[in-house]
A and B are shown apart, each in its own frame.
Chain A
């Protein structure tokens, strides 16, 4: 399992274990945290699963599409990612995630 520490938009911290192989987006959504809309179902076609991620281990390299979509948000930071594009891998934890403000 992968340890996740997720801060939602209300500032509440959620500590939970997620299943490796799932995307970060699915893991947050399936935990019952409301703030992730993920309208395109994880196909990297929108930016409604935007999060800020801090990890000690390197994350999957960002695709050009993901980079472009993040560029289109007004809330981009250095650690911005689309959570649908991060597959959880054993050993990458703990992952510190803050859900970005709604665009």
Chain B
């Protein structure tokens, strides 16, 4: 039986970072990554941006060039999906029946994109955007002018809308809630982003439920909303979130539900088994110590670094500041912190000038910020969010006063 001192399930951002970190901090044991797809570790964010636009090739998306992994004695098994974990025997079983042993296991399998379940959802021309295959499949349909319907007004859906508009396609975004980005942004940013998309020719339908999809010869042609409206649609992209891929861990007895629970060292409740990334539910000090799952490059990377240190016997707790970014049209969105529980929002700058930032405060302390084309505030604000600095609300609302000079006296 093949055995690896550290076995990493998932070759995405978290899995790759953990392997690299183990070598960086001098871990000399064997390290193996099991990746369910055929691809070496690559960055996902460009998939919905420059990659699908054709401005960036796949080689540039690779987290490291192929030769790096061999040089570092990191084994990568592709097309290797785990279906079961035996925590007592320290073994995993793959879908093809292979059994692999481990000293420590790091679960970094991410999630699977939620798919549409309405009538017609199996027609051809309907996609999610989660991995390279998805992006390639969508890109392959963009040779002809399309009438695209995007289900979900979150970051993936909106980035997709931006890319499709840039390429000249007709785009409608269906958002089930009463504003876009409802899960992550405050209302001001939601309305601004909605207005921008409309100005770029995107039709945005709010409070809109997809009822069914109709097609001809197996190809989608029409989206029907709950209120009966019919939209021509020959390309449908669902950006409706992910389901954390943690079933084998939970079946093995790990604590969890929506994701697998980890402590501040990214350890699960099963001895020797760690988790990092989209599927790792953790208490986050930037979420008032509530349990959260964060789906971001920052979280995947920093949790992987935390887990690698713990596995190598150099434990240090996870305390990294969450941050996010998005690019839509000529908008550079940058966020830091988590705005849950805020009681005040402050706007700096001018929405009409398309350069502003929004500060989220709780009891006078800044807990998060969203910046649009305003890197200055993002850079200056990050350390303030990290320290939950107390702000002078009058000065902090004045765009002419640098943010770092807006601390409460």
Chain A residues within CB distance 8 Å of chain B: 26, 29-30, 32, 34, 37, 39-41, 43, 45-47, 64-65, 68-74
Q: Which of A41, A47, A69, A74 contacts B45 (CB 8 A)?
A: A41
- A39 close to B378 (CB less than 8 A): no
Q: Which of A40, A43, A71 contacts B380 (CB 8 A)?
A: A71
Once A26-B60, A40-B45 are accepted as A-B contacts, the answer to whether A47 and B379 lie under 8 Å apart by CB is yes
Residues on the B chain within 8 Å of A40, using CB: 45, 297, 325
Closest to B71 in A: A32
Once A39-B297, A40-B325, A72-B380 are accepted as A-B contacts, the answer to whether A34 and B46 lie under 8 Å apart by CB is no
Interface flag for B301 (CB, 8 Å): yes
- B65 close to A30 (CB less than 8 A): yes
Once A26-B60, A46-B325 are accepted as A-B contacts, the answer to whether A32 and B72 lie under 8 Å apart by CB is yes
Residues on the A chain within 8 Å of B20, using CB: 34
- A68 close to B325 (CB less than 8 A): no
Q: Which of B68, B301, B334 contacts A32 (CB 8 A)?
A: B68
Measured between alpha carbons, how far is A64 from B377 in the docked complex, in Å? 12
**Interface residue ranges of B50-100 to A (CB < 8 Å):** 50, 60-61, 64-65, 68, 71-72
Q: Mark B180-209, 1 if CB is under 8 A from A, else 0.
A: 000000000000000000000000000000
Distance to closest chain A CB from B329 (angstroms):
14
Interface flag for B39 (CB, 8 Å): no
Measured between alpha carbons, how far is A21 from B297 in the docked complex, in Å? 26
Once A40-B297, A43-B327, A45-B332 are accepted as A-B contacts, the answer to whether A72 and B378 lie under 8 Å apart by CB is yes
Residues on the B chain within 8 Å of A68, using CB: 375-376, 378-379
Q: Mark B383-404, 1 if CB is under 8 A from A, else 0.
A: 1000000000000000000000
Consensus secondary structure, chain A interface: loop
Once A45-B332, A71-B380, A72-B382 are accepted as A-B contacts, the answer to whether A65 and B375 lie under 8 Å apart by CB is yes
Interface flag for B115 (CB, 8 Å): no
Interface residues on B, range: 20 to 34
Distance to closest chain B CB from A81 (angstroms):
15
Chain B residues within CB distance 8 Å of chain A: 20, 23-24, 43, 45-46, 49-50, 60-61, 64-65, 68, 71-72, 297-298, 301, 323, 325, 327, 332, 334, 375-376, 378-380, 382-383
Measured between alpha carbons, how far is A40 from B44 in the docked complex, in Å? 10
- A30 close to B68 (CB less than 8 A): yes
Distance to closest chain A CB from B335 (angstroms):
10
Measured between alpha carbons, how far is A10 from B71 in the docked complex, in Å? 19
Listed by A's residue number, 13 A-B pairs whose Cβ atoms lie within 8 Å are A30-B64, A32-B68, A34-B20, A41-B43, A41-B45, A41-B46, A45-B332, A46-B325, A65-B332, A69-B375, A69-B379, A71-B380, A72-B378
Distance to closest chain A CB from B372 (angstroms):
12
Residues on the A chain within 8 Å of B45, using CB: 40-41, 43
Once A32-B68, A32-B71 are accepted as A-B contacts, the answer to whether A39 and B24 lie under 8 Å apart by CB is no
Closest to B373 in A: A65
- A39 close to B298 (CB less than 8 A): yes
- A39 close to B376 (CB less than 8 A): no
Closest to A48 in B: B301
Distance to closest chain B CB from A25 (angstroms):
11
Once A32-B68, A40-B297, A43-B325 are accepted as A-B contacts, the answer to whether A71 and B376 lie under 8 Å apart by CB is yes
Residues on the A chain within 8 Å of B334, using CB: 45
Distance to closest chain A CB from B336 (angstroms):
10
Residues on the B chain within 8 Å of A41, using CB: 43, 45-46, 61
- B325 close to A72 (CB less than 8 A): no
Measured between alpha carbons, how far is A46 from B324 in the docked complex, in Å? 9
Closest to A47 in B: B379
Closest to B402 in A: A71
Closest to B382 in A: A72
Residues on the A chain within 8 Å of B380, using CB: 71-72
Closest to A71 in B: B379
Once A39-B301, A65-B375 are accepted as A-B contacts, the answer to whether A46 and B383 lie under 8 Å apart by CB is no
Residues on the B chain within 8 Å of A47, using CB: 379
Residues on the B chain within 8 Å of A65, using CB: 332, 375
Q: Which of A37, A39, A72 contacts B379 (CB 8 A)?
A: A72
Closest to A43 in B: B327
Measured between alpha carbons, how far is A21 from B378 in the docked complex, in Å? 29
Once A46-B323, A68-B378 are accepted as A-B contacts, the answer to whether A37 and B72 lie under 8 Å apart by CB is no
Measured between alpha carbons, how far is A32 from B72 in the docked complex, in Å? 8
Measured between alpha carbons, how far is A78 from B375 in the docked complex, in Å? 20
Closest to B13 in A: A39
Residues on the A chain within 8 Å of B23, using CB: 34
Measured between alpha carbons, how far is A47 from B46 in the docked complex, in Å? 17
